[in-house]
Every structure is written in C-alpha cells, then in structure tokens.
Amino acid sequence: MLVAALVALAAAALFGVSTALQHRSAGLVTDAQADGGEGLAAFVSGTLRHPLWVTGVVADIGGFALHALALREGPLSLVQPLLVSSAVFALALRQLLEHRWPRRDQLAWAGTLAVGLVMFLAVSTPAGGVAQPADSRPAIVVGGLIGLGVLGFFLAGRRSTGRAAAALLGTAAGLSYAAVAGLLKQDMGTLDRGLGALVTSWPFYALIGVGALGLLVNQLAYQAGPLSSSLPAIMTVGPVVSLVIGVVVFDEQFRTGPAALLGAAVCLALVLVAAGGLTRSEFTPAAWAEGRRAHGPTSVPREVF
C-alpha cells in the first residue's frame, strides 16, 4: 500500500505540471486562431502543434506510467483520491514560474487538502487481499452509464458558454478519466499474463480511445472558461466515480463499520472542498474576465497560464 501511495503522489505531481501547461496552451492557441481559422478543427490543429501542450503531454505520459504502476500495486479506492493532490503541485508550479509566494488562503487550502488526504487514508484504507478482475455485468452497467454521462455533459457543454461550459465539459472529462482509471486497472491485471495477452484484449484499445477522448474534452474545458470552473469538476467527478468503479466493478473492500464509512465520507468531502477552494483561489474568474475583454470573447488571459 505504501508503494502505491508514494507512486500515486509522484503521478499527481506530473499531472499538476501538465494541468498548468495545457491550460496555458489553451489560451494561447485560442488567441492564435484569430488569424488561422476558427472552430473545433482549428483548435485541435493548433493545440497539437503548440509547444506548451506538447510539454504537458510529456508530463501526462510520465504521470500515466506512474498511475499505471500505482494501480498495479494498490486499489483504485486508494490511488484515485491521492491524485487530487495534483492541485497543490499545479499551484506550486504557478508560484515558481511567476517568482512569487502563495497567499495565506492558498496555503490554508493546500494544508487542508493534505490533512484531508492523510485522514482519508488513515480512516478508509481498503482491506488487503488479492486484486480481483472486473465483474462483467457491473462493468457493462457502469461503463454504459459513464458513456451516456460523457456524451450528455459534452453536448451540454458545447451548447453553453463561459463558466457553465467549462464546468459541464470538466464533468465530462472527469467521467472520462474515471473510465480511464478503471480500464487501466483492468489492463494492469491483464499484463500479468504477458504483453501478448494485453495487446489482444479489448480493454487495451478501449483505454487508448477513451484516453484520447478525455484529453480532447479536458482541453476544451480549459478553453471554454476559467480553470476555477473546470478543474474542480474534473477533480471531484473523477475520484468519486473511480471509487464507485473500484467497489462495484473490482470488489474492493473498505474498512467496514458505520464509524469508518462516515469518517471516510467526511474526509473525502474535505479533500474535494479543499481542492475546489485551492483552485478557485488561484485561478480567479476576475482574471479570466479581464483577459476576455483584452483579447476577445474566447481567449484566456496571459497571466492565467
């Protein structure tokens, strides 16, 4: 369990770097679209060629590899909540790039998140046991519900604007990442039977497709509105749905008893509230609005990554 926790924290650090760079890229690519075309195709084309986005993808790949290792060593219900700490790493990178110290409220939110994570792990660390393969029937039901959710929130987000669009697309991205975590967990179990078994199994190719979809929706969420609207949705939906996948699909067991379950719920709520507060304190709608007035209706301000 300790190895899984440490590797998950390392993955969170790389995901935090990726978040900062890719959100900055979303704004710069949108600014450049004014001369090179408009619409989803122009945004995707510009994003794929932008150096900040490419660097963020490199960080994503490293984080993904560590995420896979963590899921091989531990359960979803342990690993996924730890990834919420990526918000702290994103904050630290922002302060480093801008040569300034974090404010007191940001330090308070970061400390609260750290305490909440420690308490969650202490209260609800899943019971030990042999990792179980996915149960087919629950996997089909949960996968279908996630697919419908991604489609619904994506369509609603594309029809909305501003903060509402960012939140809706962020929810779709969070659902996609939860599906990625479940597929990755299954693929790590398949890998134990050899590389040949992995590359001939459908979850491997589903992982590639859902992962690519998640990256696209995530970048669209960054482009649609301030990070204070999209990132809390991503960080909240992803871990919570991942916990459901772990318990329902992989039969992961939490510590039993009303006190343990209540304590786990309270600690997880504290983590999610702290992550949202940290994000909102760092990426303010006021800065987003200022950038929109200065650069156009769809741009990200220069000072917000």
Task: Kindly report which listed range (28-32, 99-103, 224-228, 270-274) carries the lowest average pLDDT score.
Answer: 28-32
Residue 304 lies in a domain: no
Q: How many residues does the chain have?
A: 305
Residue 303 lies in a domain: no
Using CB atoms within 10 A of its CB, is residue 19 exposed (0-12), middle (13-18) or buried (19+)?
buried
Q: Are 226 and 284 in contact (CB under 8 A)?
A: yes
Residue 302 lies in a domain: no
Residue 252 lies in a domain: yes
Helix (H, G, I), strand (E, B) or coil at 196: helix
Instruction: Kindly provide the b/e burial profile for residues 183-215, where b requires at least 16 CB atoms within 10 angstroms of the residue's own CB.
Output: bbbbbbbbbeeeeeebeebebbebbeebbebbb
Give, rounded to a whole angstrom, the gap between the first and last alpha carbons of the chain.
Answer: 35
What is the extent of the structural domain holding 21? 2-295
For residue 156, the one-letter residue type is: A
At 147-195, the pLDDT tens digits run 999 999 999 999 998 888 988 999 999 999 999 999 999 999 898 888 8
Total domain count for the chain?
A: 1
**Better pLDDT: 150 or 272:** 150
Residue 130 pLDDT greater than 70, yes or no? no
**Mean pLDDT value across the chain:** 78
* For residues 130-151, average pLDDT: 87
Residue 300 lies in a domain: no
Confidence of residue 236 (pLDDT cuts 50, 70, 90): confident
Residue 74 lies in a domain: yes
Residue 55 lies in a domain: yes
Residue 305 lies in a domain: no
Q: What does 8-75 look like in DSSP terms, one character per residue?
A: HHHHHHHHHHHHHHHHHHHHHHHHHHHHH--SHHHHHHHHHT-HHHHHHHHHHHHHHHHHHHHHHHS-
Q: Token pair of 68, please?
A: 């896979």
Confidence of residue 38 (pLDDT cuts 50, 70, 90): low
